[in-house]
């Protein structure tokens, strides 16, 4: 089985992964040999602090081994196709994690692999991030079902997509709060697939204060991601009304928690005051990347 997008796992699957993640976090020593003699290959087309370190440290925690490999231009060597490279990996390792620029590439990897493949991030999905987010919300709120999460900012980005898919599948009320512009709003294709996947309807709001009203969780991300440099000027003009500051947070529930998948551009999508507040769970969220991914690795390879 592969995790190429959030649509590959059901509510039951996510529940099982989160349960394993909680058990591993509570007692890592009990799982210290669970990946003994197992090797994870980490293919990176785009560098990442959290993705690399959390997977590598996580495999070490479970008694396994992780190998970092930089993939440039979608291939392995100057003369070898991506598919041929993956067919080699099938013979050497037990699982593949790939952080690549295009969803098409992760689909090609999955098609060529006979071992589990994990999407470490593409331009469309970020499923490992959402598993960590769900784990964090459950830790702080004690449940997922019935909570409201307001995703504030770029409603068309990969983190927004995974938040919508994963949170709605677990029974959360999801509102995307974004500028009234198609590229910054959820994709109609993604919304239709969510309806088919979990039967959920996503609320889209272009009113920041109205959108976060009643929210138990406020989530934001950077306004300008890798590959969006040409759009930077337009984005920097469109997104300031959607900054997560203390005034906006005050419109949500009084015990609302604030999340960010990092890296954060302080002073832009989120203020220092909010980032460093007692309501911020940003760094616990980052820490849970490792435990959520360990639960996923154990679940996939078991």
What does the alpha-carbon distance between residue 90 and residue 109 come to, in Å, rounded to a whole number?
Answer: 11
**Rg of the chain over all Cα atoms, to the nearest angstrom:** 19
Question: Three-class SS of residue 239?
Answer: coil
Q: What pLDDT is stored for residue 285 in this prediction?
A: 98
Domain 127-285 has CATH 3.60.21.10: no
Binned at pLDDT 50, 70 and 90, residue 79 comes out as confident
- DSSP conformational letter for 199: -
Res 62: pLDDT: 97
Q: What is the pLDDT of residue 76?
A: 78
Confirm if 110 and 43 have CB atoms less than 8 A apart. Answer: no
Q: What is the mean pLDDT of the segment spanning 189-207?
A: 97
Query: What burial letters (b/e) apply to 180-195, b meaning 16+ CB within 10 Å?
Result: eeeebbbbeebbebbe
pTM for this entry: 0.96
User: Which fold would CATH assign to domain 6-125+288-301?
Assistant: Rossmann fold (3.40.50)
For residue 77, what are the β-bridge partners?
A: 80
The first and second tokens of residue 169, run together, are 């599948």
Instruction: Give CATH 3.40.50.1370 domain extents, the chain.
Output: 6-125+288-301, 127-285
Question: Could you report the per-residue pLDDT of 227-280, keeping only the tens digit for each?
Answer: 667 788 899 999 999 999 999 999 999 999 999 999 999 999 999 999 999 999
Dihedral angle, C-alpha 139, 145, 147, 152, nearest 10 °: 90
Q: Which candidate, 154, 149, 198, 186, places its Cα nearest to that of 7?
A: 198
How far is Cα 102 from Cα 64, in angstroms, rounded to an integer? 28
């Amino acid at each position: 089985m592969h995790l190429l997008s959030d649509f590959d796992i059901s509510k039951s699957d996510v529940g099982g992964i989160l349960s394993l993640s909680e058990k591993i976090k509570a007692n890592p020593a009990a799982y210290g040999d669970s990946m003994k003699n197992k090797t994870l290959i980490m293919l990176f087309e785009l560098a990442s602090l959290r993705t690399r370190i959390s997977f590598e440290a996580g495999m070490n925690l479970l008694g396994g081994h992780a190998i970092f490999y930089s993939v440039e231009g979608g291939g392995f060597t100057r003369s070898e196709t991506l598919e041929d490279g993956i067919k080699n990996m099938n013979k050497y390792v037990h699982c593949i994690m790939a952080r690549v620029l295009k969803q098409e590439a992760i689909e090609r990897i999955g098609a060529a692999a006979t071992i589990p493949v994990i999407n470490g991030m593409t331009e469309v999905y970020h499923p490992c991030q959402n598993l960590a987010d769900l784990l964090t919300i459950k830790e702080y709120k004690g449940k997922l079902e019935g909570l409201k999460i307001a995703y504030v900012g770029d409603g068309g980005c990969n983190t927004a997509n995974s938040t919508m898919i994963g949170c709605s599948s677990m029974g959360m009320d999801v509102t995307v709060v974004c500028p009234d512009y198609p590229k910054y709003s959820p994709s109609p294709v993604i919304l239709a697939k969510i309806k088919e996947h979990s039967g959920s309807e996503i609320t889209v709001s272009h009113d920041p204060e109205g959108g976060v009203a009643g929210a138990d969780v406020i989530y934001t991300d950077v306004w300008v991601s890798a590959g969006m440099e040409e759009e930077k000027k337009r984005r920097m003009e469109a997104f300031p009304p959607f900054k997560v500051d203390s005034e906006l947070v005050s419109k949500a529930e009084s015990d609302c928690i604030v999340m960010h998948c990092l890296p954060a551009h302080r002073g832009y999508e989120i203020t220092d005051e909010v980032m460093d507040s007692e309501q911020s769970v940003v760094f616990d969220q980052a820490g849970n990347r490792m435990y959520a991914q360990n639960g996923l690795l154990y679940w996939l390879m078991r």
